Amino acid sequence: MKTLQILGAAAAVSALTALAALAGFADAQANVVPANTTPPSVSGTPRDGETLTAGEGTWTGTDPITYTYQWQRCDGNGLNCANLAGAIGRTYAVQTSDVNNRLRVNVTAKNESGSTTATSQPTAGVTPPEGATRLADGRYSIPASSVRLPNRLVISGVEFVPSGLRSRDPYTGRFRVTDTRGYIVREAIVLVTGVPLGWIQAPQEVRTNVDGLATIQIQPTTRLRLVRGGSMVKFIRARKDGDSLLAGISTRRLVRVRTARPS
């Protein structure tokens, strides 16, 4: 009798063990770590100012599965990739610093059982804004029409010849226009306004050339006072076609030219 009881207890333990194993197997089958079956992708145009969108690819695993993103910048060959700080959304706004590099995205799929990361192929090389022309010095010239908010025009260079006024003869102003990303801007419309009004004849608006330069002849009037330590003050304004004079990407800069007594 004792032998039968022992054998019965052993059988019961064995059965319980088998049931536990089956339960564990079933639980493991019910909770599968995500596995990537189709790699993530990147859609959109890899160009400065454009927006790229990550596709998470396709995954297997136990639902619910959540996805997180990390964008990376790679070199021009798609190698030496590094995380872009803060670029963790499904979309990414392409930056000027990305130009001539390539971009990719890591997608991490996560559920209660764990997480797995898969990586997209790098994009083609990032290009400057639409209409960009590379100049001899390596910088890019872009049309004013390709500058859009939040970027704005900047009057980044001012030169007067002569640099000081001793007469009311015409003098020359040269003004360089760039944008807030540092691109040289061609076809921007530049206007000079004297302050106070009437100290110079109102010149015509002039468009910047491929080097971002507008050259304007300025004619003082008899109201200009040629005194030692004086100055001729001007507002320089740059805008693009169709923009309001006080809104859009327009910009203004206050400059002055020193005056002196006639020699």
pLDDT at 127: 96
Residue 212 carries which side chain, given as an amino acid letter?
Answer: G
User: What average pLDDT does the segment 228-240 reach?
Assistant: 93
Question: What residues does each domain of the chain span?
Answer: 35-119, 133-259
* Equal CATH topology for 35-119 and 133-259: yes
The answer to whether the beta carbons of residues 216 and 202 sit under 8 Å apart is: no
Helix-strand-coil percent breakdown of the chain, rounded to 5? 15, 40, 45
pLDDT in tens, 196-228: 888 999 889 999 999 999 999 999 999 999 999
Assigned token pair, 96: 């000027």
The answer to whether the beta carbons of residues 207 and 240 sit under 8 Å apart is: no
In the CATH hierarchy, which top-level class contains the domain 133-259? mainly beta
Q: Which of 158, 159, 212, 204 minimizes the C-alpha distance to 188?
A: 212
* CATH number given to 35-119: 2.60.40.2700
Q: Which sign does the torsion angle of CA 218, 233, 223, 229 carry?
A: negative
The residues near 80 (Cβ < 8 Å, ≥ 6 apart) are 74
pLDDT at 31: 84
pLDDT in tens, 37-82: 999 999 999 999 999 999 999 999 999 999 999 999 999 999 999 9
Q: What count of residues does the chain have? A: 263
Please give the mean pLDDT across all residues of the chain.
90
CA distance 194 to 79: 54
Whether the predicted pLDDT of 96 surpasses 50: yes
pLDDT at 13: 46
Helix or strand run (H / E) with residue 5? helix 2-30
pLDDT in tens, 2-29: 544 544 555 554 654 554 454 454 444 5
The answer to whether the beta carbons of residues 29 and 105 sit under 8 Å apart is: no
pLDDT-derived band at 263 (thresholds 50, 70, 90) equals confident
Q: Say which residue the tokens 């990361």 belong to.
A: 117
Whether the predicted pLDDT of 172 surpasses 80: yes
- Taking phi first (over 0 means left), then psi (-120 to 50 degrees means alpha), and beta for anything else, what does residue 248 get? left
pLDDT-derived band at 158 (thresholds 50, 70, 90) equals very high
Q: Which residues pair with 132 in a beta bridge?
A: none
Read off φ and ψ for residue 76, nearest 5 degrees.
-65, -15
CA distance 106 to 71: 6
The residues near 108 (Cβ < 8 Å, ≥ 6 apart) are 67, 68, 69, 70, 115, 116, 117
